[in-house]
Structure 1
Amino acid sequence: MSTTRAEAAYRRSAAAFRNPMLGLLHGRYAPFVVAVLSVVFTADRATVAVSDAHAEIAEVIDQLRGAGYDHDERRIPSGTAREICRYWVKVGWLVPQIEDDVEVYRLSAQAVGALEVAGRAGGGRTRVSQSRVRTLLESVDRLSVDADDDRDARIARLRADRDQLDAEIVRLEGGGDVEPLDEEQLLEEAENILHLARELPADFSRVAESINAMQRDVVTALRQDVRPTGEVLREYLQRGQHIMQATPEGRAFAGALRLIGEPEHIDHLADQLHTLMAKPFARLLAVEQRADLRAISRRVELGVEEVLTAQRRASHVITAQVRTHDPIRDRQVDDLLRDVMAGLQTWMQTSRPGDRIDPLRSFPVADVGHLRQSLSDIRPPGAPDKLTEVDGDAVDFLDADERSWGGPHYVELERYVAGLGDTFDLGAAFEDGPAANRRPVDLLGLLEIAHRNGMTEGDDVTIVEALRPDGTRRRFAFGSVTARTTKEQSVD
């Protein structure tokens, strides 16, 4: 069945009214919403901390109710400021985000557009002026020139423009008067500038939101991607680096950024606006119009900053997601969630209303037996078994090679020290000892015997060479030691 023109027009209109911007303007509390958002969010305050926004909106509600505007339930919504903001976030008028570890609100592109429409509707008459028509004609002429690929026609047009400029320069240099426009025409020009500037905040917000939407799509696609990790890394890192070119709004903004992106361009714009405000015609502008004219450069600066911030944030999020991307882990999580859903569906087939399932509050842990819970008691939990007494002949000693790699030969060392006189130099004693007792561990054993019997340390440095069982040698240095042969007896 074919669709009539009326049906098609009605469907387009119904789709348009589902847009959050028209929903805001057509809503039950539209005057209240427009008033509050215009008070809280200004040209110099694009984002507001969540806590500050709740406090300010609560104050506005109290002021309006105190002034008697709550006698009609259609004027001010019920509920707290927090509940009202949550609803505005839900319907797409406010956008929560994190800036410098602080949660803030900012207006969505639809809310900015709605405020601009409401401002134009309540800001006085809209007229067809010479300035607005000239802007239209100049735009059409510029489009025609840019679309024309005829070289000769473009050269002829450029020469005509040059001749006109040269003639004006000659006239002025010859003493001709400058013919300024009258104040009424200058006022029309200023109103046309304000008309064009009102569209900028919504345009900037749409670019930032398109980048954020693209970021969410990329992250979602990345989590569903099962290709090799290296291929995924290359593709998504490239998308993160060229994120501004990924959306039509971003590409259009990149072109505009070449005109307004440099700080000196914005500074020049601010200087021009400041000069215009000092002209006599500026007194004909309303107070709100003068404020809007002064704020144009600030709005441009904040809009550029908003888009660039969204670009940096999206690039950071995509890069972080790519670096932590693990297809195997993601598949395991997806399988687990599918198992949970399947189990829930099976349970729903046999359950009755009122049946409950005890939730799993913690994962089971492995049983590893008893672990010591405190380190204050160093005693073992039980006494060791007694050693078995055996005869000396029944003891199995290690062979000679394994014994040579063992600890110090205390018996041989004590017998050797006993024949060195009352005192001896430890370094000389070690160097002169038998080869079997000159291992590194025997040097430690000799030091232990000297410490036990009593020794005196000197200021000189003694260097000895130890001999390992495999024939390798190692040198040691220590302070000189003079030791006793036998243990010194204490005198009471």
Structure 2
Amino acid sequence: MSDIAGELARVREAFDKPTLRLLDRKWAPFVLAVFTSSFSRDRRSVQADLLHTQVDAYLADLRSVGRDVPSKNGRALCVQWMNDQWLYRETGDGGDEQYSLTSHALEALLLVASLSRDRALISESRLTTIVDTVRHRATQANPDREDRIRRLDREIAEKKGERDRLADGGEIAAASNEQMHEGYANLVDLINQLPSDFKRVEESVAGMHRQIVSDFRGEELPIGEVLDEYLTKTDALMSATPEGRAFEGAFALLRNDALIQELKNDLETILLHPFALELSAHDRRSLMGTVSLIRKGIDDVLTQRNGLTTTLREHIVNHDVVQDRELERLLREINRELATWMQTAGPRSTVTAELMPGTLDVDHLRERFYDPAAHAAPPALEDVSDEAPLPATLGDMRQQGGPLLEELRQALVMAFTSGEAASVGEAFNGLEANLRRPVEILGMLQMATQIDAVHRADALETFETVRPDGSHQRFSVPRILLNEDETAALAALNSGSDDD
């Protein structure tokens, strides 16, 4: 009997996977075109509202040129694609919802890109890669010590012979542009598979996350046993799936900073070859971004794994087994009472039950209770009368106050009447020290404003002031001149009581 039935079942199982379901749908070209236009290697996630708007714009553009497109709007299509496991929605760092492609969508895009590529990948570069890989794995798989030593000796002899030939001035055969293009196509094909590989690891960790949380929520074991199982599953987190085991091996290799730096230098050397001039700027940037692609993929997986550990730790810390059991016991008692009640109740019988407890009819609840410490007398004040400074005299207090308007007015009138000063500044600088405080300038300006003598000031003059502590300070003040009428008005000015 042929095994066609088994092959048919295997193929059907493959077609049931999201990757082939995407390629098998009617709108597959449209969906893949949207994914290609909206996402890239540098743009792995798009804000949810923005992607809805972009899909609406794509639909309008295609309808305007007569193309057949789905009838749903952008939001409905994105939700449908998320349910089909082609899009994944998550909350970003800023709290906004974002869409990203799943590994199934990335695999579909990679398959379409490989089918639309013009250059054939069956080349010397691809075969050389296969041969080198097989030789390396065969060396690792062979437990025979002598055979492994012979292999290493042969490789050393080949490398030493090539080195000696070059050291003796041997010719260096430069790779042709065709050879470099073939190697570049092989390299790009391998690099393009990295995003989907990393995404599969992320999805595997996320799936284990959901499974473990579901198991914990359904547990009826004591908290100690739950913790033990949690720690066991966490220790085996990356070794429990093929994707996790593959990532662990790659991660151990990529933790070598010297290897990463060597990879970056080798990529730069490839782009210095003349064939790189035929590549587009996008292709050159993509090739140089290989190291960033690897680091970003590793960071995403580690972030997903750290999120799993954090979530499970919070779940274990906040999980109250006693409260859960009390709630379960209460629900069982309610079901038992309900079954008893249904034995005598009719089909339309009802029972009144309050969903929330009623409020208490209390006007006021005490917020504070008696505290003897609050009613204790304060401690006696310390007697510091011996240390108290001497009280200030009236003259000292007046020196700390406002301008001495009456004394200042009389002094100015006397200075202008006797002809000792031509300006207010000269009169001020000739006064006694107790009338030349900085605050007295304000008093002089106030009186000059009252007799309307400030408007003619067209220059500045210096006022030499003396502070109560004896220090001197200079101020630039408008130069004010007083004629006879203004001097008489100043003499007749009623300054009132001093503003002490």
Into which bin does the TM-score normalised by the smaller protein fall? 0.5 to 0.7
Distance 2:127 2:48 in 1: 43
Rate the CA distance shift 1:340–1:56 in 2: closer, same or farther, 3 A.
farther
Query: How far is 1:302 from its partner?
Result: 2.2
Residue 138 of structure 1: which of 128, 132, 139 is its match? 132
Moved more, 4-13 or 286-295: 286-295
Mapped contact 1:94–1:106 kept (Cα < 8 A): yes
Distance 1:220 1:126 in 2: 47
Residue 257 of structure 1: which of 238, 241, 251 is its match? 251
- Opposite residue 145 of structure 2, the aligned amino acid is R
What secondary structure is seen at the aligned counterpart in 2 of 1:227? coil
Mapped contact 2:121–2:186 kept (Cα < 8 A): no
Residue 62 of structure 2: which of 41, 61, 64 is its match? 64
Spell out, residue by residue over 1:168-203, the C-alpha distance to the aligned partner (whole angstroms, 9 max, x if none): 111111111211222211211111101111211111
Mapped contact 2:110–2:193 kept (Cα < 8 A): yes
Query: How far is 1:107 from its partner?
Result: 0.8
Residue 316 of structure 1: which of 304, 310, 315 is its match? 310
Equivalence for 1:89: 82
| Correspondence 1:168 to 2:162 | yes
Residue 46 of structure 2: which of 45, 48, 53 is its match? 48
Distance 1:356 1:262 in 2: 74
Distance 1:135 1:193 in 2: 10
Rate the CA distance shift 1:458–1:316 in 2: closer, same or farther, 3 A.
closer
Equivalence for 1:328: 322
Mapped contact 2:121–2:182 kept (Cα < 8 A): no
Rate the CA distance shift 1:118–1:171 in 2: closer, same or farther, 3 A.
same
Query: How far is 1:341 from its partner?
Result: 9.3
Rate the CA distance shift 1:270–1:333 in 2: closer, same or farther, 3 A.
farther
Rate the CA distance shift 1:31–1:151 in 2: closer, same or farther, 3 A.
same
| Correspondence 1:77 to 2:70 | yes
Residue 16 of structure 1: which of 9, 14, 17 is its match? 14
Matches within 5 A, 1:88-107: 88-100=81-93, 101-107=95-101
Mapped contact 1:21–1:113 kept (Cα < 8 A): yes
Equivalence for 1:6: 4
Rate the CA distance shift 1:58–1:371 in 2: closer, same or farther, 3 A.
same
Mapped contact 1:187–1:284 kept (Cα < 8 A): no
- Opposite residue 187 of structure 1, the aligned amino acid is H
Spell out, residue by residue over 1:34-80, the C-alpha distance to the aligned partner (whole angstroms, 9 max, x if none): 1111111111111222122222222222222223323xxxxx21222
Please, what TM-score do these two structures have when normalized by structure 1?
A: 0.67
What secondary structure is seen at the aligned counterpart in 2 of 1:243? coil
Query: How far is 1:20 from its partner?
Result: 0.5
Q: Could you tell me the percent identity over the aligned residues?
A: 31
- Opposite residue 220 of structure 1, the aligned amino acid is S
Matches within 5 A, 1:37-436: 37-70=35-68, 76-100=69-93, 101-237=95-231, 239-240=233-234, 243-261=237-255, 265-285=259-279, 289-290=283-284, 292-332=286-326, 363-366=355-358, 368-372=360-364
Mapped contact 2:103–2:199 kept (Cα < 8 A): yes
- Number of matched pairs: 372
- Opposite residue 67 of structure 1, the aligned amino acid is V
Distance 1:202 1:358 in 2: 58
Spell out, residue by residue over 1:218-259, the C-alpha distance to the aligned partner (whole angstroms, 9 max, x if none): 111112222221232243145436633343311211110122
Distance 1:249 1:309 in 2: 16
Distance 2:193 2:206 in 1: 20
Spell out, residue by residue over 1:462-481, the C-alpha distance to the aligned partner (whole angstroms, 9 max, x if none): xxxxxxxxxxxxxxxxxxxx
Rate the CA distance shift 1:291–1:38 in 2: closer, same or farther, 3 A.
farther
Distance 2:362 2:213 in 1: 45
Spell out, residue by residue over 1:113-133, the C-alpha distance to the aligned partner (whole angstroms, 9 max, x if none): 011011111122434211111
Mapped contact 2:119–2:185 kept (Cα < 8 A): no
Alpha carbon RMSD of aligned pairs, Å? 3.6
Query: How far is 1:374 from its partner?
Result: 12
Equivalence for 2:24: 26
- Opposite residue 287 of structure 2, the aligned amino acid is L
Rate the CA distance shift 1:459–1:88 in 2: closer, same or farther, 3 A.
closer
Residue 460 of structure 1: which of 377, 383, 387 is its match? 383
Distance 2:207 2:181 in 1: 40
Rate the CA distance shift 1:369–1:458 in 2: closer, same or farther, 3 A.
closer
Equivalence for 1:485: none
Rate the CA distance shift 1:327–1:112 in 2: closer, same or farther, 3 A.
same
Spell out, residue by residue over 1:280-316, the C-alpha distance to the aligned partner (whole angstroms, 9 max, x if none): 1124446765454344333222211221111111111
Higher relative contact order (CA 8 A, sep 6+): 1
5+ long unaligned stretches in structure 2: 385-500
Distance 1:281 1:45 in 2: 28
Query: How far is 1:262 from its partner?
Result: 5.2
What secondary structure is seen at the aligned counterpart in 1 of 2:383? strand
5+ long unaligned stretches in structure 1: 71-75, 376-406, 408-440, 448-456, 462-492
Rate the CA distance shift 1:95–1:336 in 2: closer, same or farther, 3 A.
farther
Distance 1:273 1:128 in 2: 22
Mapped contact 1:214–1:247 kept (Cα < 8 A): no
Equivalence for 2:464: none
What secondary structure is seen at the aligned counterpart in 1 of 2:238? helix
Spell out, residue by residue over 1:317-362, the C-alpha distance to the aligned partner (whole angstroms, 9 max, x if none): 1111111222333345556778899979x99xx999xx999999x7
Query: How far is 1:142 from its partner?
Result: 1.7
Mapped contact 1:201–1:303 kept (Cα < 8 A): yes
Matches within 5 A, 1:430-449: none
Please, what TM-score do these two structures have when normalized by structure 2?
A: 0.66
Distance 2:89 2:328 in 1: 28
Distance 1:273 1:236 in 2: 43
Equivalence for 2:410: none
Rate the CA distance shift 1:138–1:111 in 2: closer, same or farther, 3 A.
same
Query: How far is 1:10 from its partner?
Result: 1.2
